[in-house]
Amino acid sequence: MNGGAETASNASKDNSDDFWPSTIFHSLVMSIPNLLSAPETAEIAPLSILASLTSSANCHYTVTQTVVQAHCRAPAYGPRAHSKESRLIFICAASPEGGAKLWLDGEASDLVTGACIRLEAGSGISWCILNEGDEELIFLEFAQDVEDDAVFFPLAKSAGIEQEIQKICVDELAKTWWDQAPARKLGNYPANPRDVGSHA
């Protein structure tokens, strides 16, 4: 991948669904509205916070399990980039029939169970996970928790909801808006999941 994003996947085609139930460690479930016009049939992707790991007084990490329902995306607010928080994403369960995609700066690539994505803080690369299949997509997100991290949603302005998203950043995400995010050219792949499942 380009810039501050890297992906890898294992060669094994074993089905991990047998040992990775979707209910594992559910301790808190939050519902978030999808503000960037997802398909009318889309369900809101629930987030389940699993654990907060503190490695030192100055370094705090969170681990989040996200269950993305069929024809949904995560984050629900759309692609975003972080100024100071790096991320590592591990795909726990993706349909062998396909449909799981990584959206990076408007370009999409297929994801399989076992894939890993590293997102570098400060790169300005915006990302989201799309589930265009008919089964749940489950991933873990390991993130640094940096107090003065800022966040940028590159599609908010063109969607006419920049002010609303900025308010959400402060009120719900406890983040500031990243005014100085590096300018990046975006591709044309839609950030809403395409309806390519069996009922398309």
Q: What is the pLDDT of residues 136-190, one digit of tens each?
A: 999 999 887 888 898 888 888 777 777 887 887 777 777 888 888 999 999 999 9
Using a 10 angstrom Cβ sphere, with 0-12 exposed, 13-18 middle and 19 or more buried, the burial of residue 176 is: middle
Q: Where are the domains of the chain?
A: 5-10+24-177
Q: What is the pTM of this model?
A: 0.69
d(CA 108, CA 130): 9
Q: pLDDT tens digits, residue range 89-119?
A: 999 999 999 999 999 999 999 999 999 999 9
The fourth-level CATH superfamily of domain 5-10+24-177 is: Jelly Rolls (2.60.120.10)
